[in-house]
Amino acid sequence: MGQTQLLATTTGPAASGDAACCGTLTTDSAMGRAQAEATAYLLKAVADPVRLQLLSLIRAAKDHEACVCDLTPAVGLSQPTVSHHLKVLTEAGLLTRERRGTWAWFRLVPSRLDDLAAIFR
C-alpha cells in the first residue's frame, strides 16, 4: 500500500477533523510554558557528561565545594574547558562561584539540586 493510500484510509478523530479524541487530558497540574522553559534550561545545563561529573565531584567534596584547580585534573580537561562547564552550571544556578586569591571556588546550591530532583517526582 502506497503512502497516499495509507493516508486516505486513516480513521478516527484526526481524520474526521475533531480537535480532541477522548477528552481525558487535564491541564490543571501540568506545567505551563514558562515553567517548561525554565526546566528545559536546567536540564540542558546538566545534559553533559562533564557537567554531571563536575557536580558529582563537588557534591563529594568537603563542604560541597571545590577549587577549579582540583577539578581540572579530576576530569582530565583543560582549565578553560572546565571553566566553561562551571560557568554553565553557575548560570543555571546549580553552583555559586567565589574568588579566593587567584582561584575560583565552586559550591553547590542545594535548593537548585532539589529543583532538579523535583522534575523526576
- The domain segmentation of the chain, as residue ranges, is 29-118
Average pLDDT over residues 31-43: 90
**Mean pLDDT, rounded, of the chain:** 85
Between 19 and 52, residue with greater pLDDT: 52
> What pLDDT digit, counting tens, does each position of 52-96 carry?
999 999 999 999 999 999 999 999 999 999 999 999 999 999 999
State the pLDDT at residue 7. Answer: 47
**Which residues, 6+ apart, have CB-to-CB distance to 106 below 8 Å?**
58, 65, 66, 67, 68, 71, 86, 89, 90, 95, 96, 97, 98
The CA-to-CA distance between both ends of the chain, in Å, stands at 44
Q: Does domain 29-118 have CATH number 1.10.10.10?
A: yes
